[in-house]
Structure 1
């Protein structure tokens, strides 16, 4: 099944810092029988979740090994970059170009080292190697999903769309930050798009379905995450697209559900407010997640052309 034309353009776009690394991922992925997209996904997740301290220690793009792991256990020089000494002490640092230096900030040295580690650590289970690197089940899930996004849509898929089919009547209420009282005092972490029951709701970005199901505030809801760790939250749906499942990849304009008025009670509660889509956006650094106002994005996406499709993304 062919994907929309914008996918091909996204695959060739060279603006993202990782675009120039794709040939390196592929070369060392092939050399060590590691999926190139897993290497890229490890780098992406590591870059998006680096602490300020880690960024100061390793001010280059991607995953940074600890000094003792790179130079070797027992190496008296934890910042050692001389490849023969690193090999002597069993360090992970690799010399990719034959200059006898293993430099953690050199993309080829670093990615070769990462690919070799995954090959030796994982065997047939790359997820086990990802666990060893991050020691975090969330990281394992997201690296796996990012890798599928990269394989299907390219390293930096571009393009978003308004989350409601614009051929239907709708009204946007920009009420991010307003007070809410159901379930206790809280703020409104999104924007409400009022429309009739059954109006198609669309994926607004390239990403994967991270969450589906009932929430007493949001009713039937869907959470989609893109490869930049932005989370898109859709709530109060009347129904989901028939074939949609957790873990599925989605693309902009794909129908994922339909406007409803569910929520504010136990599963099945509906009709406590007019039908609308609650749409929220969240950022996640790996240490905290927070909502931000999606109004600027929605106003931009409203002005753009929109292609609506009911075809799911082929499984990878």
Structure 2
């Protein structure tokens, strides 16, 4: 079965993601192997591969690199794997189990780990709500659960983990300008740091999603005015602020992809709902990384320059 899935996904990858030379890249090979493992686990557990992929994708972002000689990144908590022998808990007997048929329970074996994860999820049930509860009992963090569930929605819609395309947030043909303004001082609402890059453009210029993700926030913020927040599959929150309006059909919970229009450039913010015109029209674009414990702002400027260059070269 493993070889069959591997061959299927190699053919899929070559067809939809060809490199310049026609060969499959190392990243694509890794994705192919991951997909094969997720699909195999789905077949034996009855739980959609997209949940295993989303959990594993989250773990890939909160650890530095995947474990050696592993394709997946999920690192079972010792209590999850071995259980609590002396006192009761959520994992009293442990969930470590054999998944590859060799009768050895190995915490460094991808199939054993995913099978054990599947057994744990099955113990709660197989509905979306059941899995959400299971995840909360494991991670004990609402944002983590929401991020995993959002990533699952993205994988479910596109039916692949091979989602590396990106886009510049404004049409490349539009008249825009920007510099690296991350970290600059801001005065409205008290002394604070500028947590983003300002891209100046005319009123009404379309604002696009730069990534695959789910709309997590939409509405008014006294600093950012009309704004949209999108959480991507890399635990990054993308913040689009000072909009003049939203795309008519965009709503919280929607899955988006690079190039989807979410709103338009404006000058809203710095006051109660409806305040506008206190500064020139521009898009404030921010990026916030989550590591499983906390979330922080980082400089989006290098990414914007890369995406601008890529858009120009298409």
- TM-score band (shorter)? 0.7 to 0.9
Per-residue deviation, 1:72: 4.3
* Aligned counterparts of 2:310 and 2:93: Cα–Cα separation in 1: 54
Deviation at 1:174, TM superposition (A): 2.3
Residue of structure 1 in register with 2:109 after alignment: 106
Among candidates 15, 24, 36, match of residue 23 of structure 1: 36
Whether 1:148 and 2:156 are equivalent positions in the alignment is no
Do residues 177 (structure 1) and 190 (structure 2) align?
A: no
Tell me whether 1:188 sits opposite 2:194 in the alignment: yes
Q: List aligned pairs for 1:43-122, cutoff 5 A.
A: 43-50=56-63, 61-74=72-85, 90-122=93-125
SS in 2 for 1:277: strand
Look up the match of 1:139. 144
The offset of 1:8, in angstroms, is 4.3
**Would you say the 8 A contact 1:253–1:306 is kept in 2?**
no
SS in 1 for 2:240: strand
- Kept in 2: contact 1:164–1:201 (CA 8 A): yes
Gap regions ≥5 residues in structure 1: 1-6, 76-88, 308-316
CA contact (8 A) 2:33 2:71 kept: no
Aligned to 2:171: 165
Deviations 1:95-119 (A, max 9, x none): 1233221111100000011111111
Classify 1:169/1:103 alpha carbon distance in 2 versus 1 (closer, same or farther; 3 Å).
same
Q: For structure 1, which segment, 192-201 or 40-49, has the greater mean C-alpha deviation from structure 2 after superposition? A: 40-49
1:187: how far off? 1.4
Report if aligned partners of 2:213, 2:256 keep a CA contact under 8 Å in 1.
yes
Note the aligned Cα RMSD (angstroms).
2.8
Question: Scaled by the length of structure 1, what TM-score is found?
Answer: 0.82
**Mapped partners of 1:117, 1:306: distance in 2:** 47
Contact 1:164 1:202 in 2 (8 A): yes
Contact 1:162 1:306 in 2 (8 A): no
Q: Per-residue displacement from partner, 1:39-91 (whole Å, max 9, x unpaired)? A: 111122233234x8xx99xx98433333343234439xxxxxxxxxxxxx943
Give TM-score, length-normalised by structure 2.
0.82
- State how far apart, in whole Å, the 1-side matches of 2:208 and 2:299 are: 19
Q: Does 1:9 align with 2:17?
A: yes
- SS for the counterpart of 2:307 is helix
**Over residues 177-236 of structure 1, what are the superposed CA-to-partner deviations in whole Å (9 max), with x where a residue is unaligned?**
111111011111111111111110011111111111111110001111211112211100
Tell me: CA distance 1:274–1:62, structure 2 relative to 1, closer, same or farther (3 Å).
same
Equivalent residues, number: 285
The answer for unaligned runs of 5 or more in structure 2 is 1-14, 19-23, 87-91
Instruction: Find 2:53's aligned residue among 27, 31, 40.
Output: 40
